[in-house]
Amino acid sequence: MHRVSAMTIDAYIDALPKAELHVHLVGSASVPTVLELSRRHPGSRVPTTGEELREFYRFRDFGHFATVYEAVNALVREPGDVAALVTGLARDLAAQNARYVELTVTPYSHHVVGMPMREVTEALDLAARAALDDHGVRVAYVFDIPGECGAEGARVTLDHALGEPPQALVGFGLGGTEHVRPKYREAFRDAFRAAVAAGLHSVPHAGEMTGPETVWEAVEGLRAERIGHGIGCLGDPRLVAHLRDTRIPLEVCPTSNLRTGQIADLGEHPLPRMLREGLFVTLNSDDPPMFATTLRGEYRAAAEVLGLDREALAGLARNAVVASYLDPAGKQALLAEIDAVTAAHGAPEPAR
């Protein structure tokens, strides 16, 4: 029997090559970066000290989180700020042995503060090259519609995605408060129809703060190829069966769900049940500094709080690579690295 080397679970998680599929540009801003921006732009609602910012990031519910996110987002006023956020995230991910990220960008938020579309795209392109050259992290982008902004948000997002896209744009998404979506259903469907026709992948958020009906709309109305969060699917056995049969990946973000009040306790997160149901699950950090987490931290919580073993953790790492829009050669190389780590340091040999 092959004998693996002794390695703590923390070291094993660190050794696993990772991909991050669900993380937001503004939500990835480190605490020092946010403090720097808030001091640079006095008069904003964002605190200028670390202690005050930590308190600012104590969210009562998703609505409160959205308000705080909007305030931080308003600090990003220049293309250089956009580029700095991308390269900062790449630096943070590299320290966690993450090799690839699909970063969600909300072009409408840059549009409303007057950033020209072309300049935003140039900043994203420049930052993607710097992320690879300086940190070894490959960056791809997903443009998402802020759901609260309705038809106007959909139009601006689509115009940017089709008219001035960054070179690494791979996906088209929909975020924000899910409860408003029925009001703008046709506008969102039309935007996704055009984006998919142009070759972008459909990756909307759904089932984060609502139930199965939002996930069904993502699948049937938005032609979702991958779904952000998706935990609300569990209320409908027919939907669970459909997701299992079609292998639509779900971008699960446990700590995010806790911090925004979607679950009361991390130990109650439905991730283990989703895996038992045979769903295609990936593990992600969403807005890591805002939620006091990291991608590495999500894997540790999955192990220490949710009881996932090394085989399950490696399965989540593989799923993220398979579900990504990385090129086939890149996927094959990352999967081979994951397999090498699990072969050397995977499940311990049973005692004889």
Mean pLDDT, the chain, as a whole number? 92
Structural domain boundaries, residue 28 = 9-345
Residue 147 within a domain: yes
Cβ-contact 154, 148 below 8 angstroms: no
pLDDT digits (tens, 9 = 90+) for 256-306: 999 999 999 999 999 999 999 999 999 999 999 889 899 999 999 999 999
pLDDT digits (tens, 9 = 90+) for 207-226: 999 999 999 999 999 999 99
**Which positions are catalytic?**
208
Residue 233 within a domain: yes
Residue 5 has pLDDT above 60, yes or no: no
| Count of structural domains, the chain | 1
Residue 165 within a domain: yes
Cβ-contact 93, 41 below 8 angstroms: no
Residue 352 within a domain: no
- Band (pLDDT 50/70/90 cuts) for residue 189 is very high
Residue 6 has pLDDT above 70, yes or no: no
Closest CA to 142 of 201, 92, 207, 188: 201
Residue 4 within a domain: no
Residue 306 within a domain: yes
Cα three-residue angle 214-254-98, rounded to 5 degrees: 110
Scanning the structure block, which residue is given the tokens 């902004």? 149
User: And the tokens for 68?
Assistant: 């705080």
- Band (pLDDT 50/70/90 cuts) for residue 2 is very low
300 vs 135, 293, 295, 296, 305, CA distance in Å? Answer: 23, 10, 9, 6, 8
> What is the sign, positive or negative, of the torsion defined by CA atoms of 90, 94, 95, 96?
positive
Q: What CATH number is attached to the domain comprising 103?
A: 3.20.20.140
Residue 3 within a domain: no
Query: In this structure, how many other beta carbons lie within 10 angstroms of the beta carbon of residue 352?
Result: 4
Residue 255 within a domain: yes
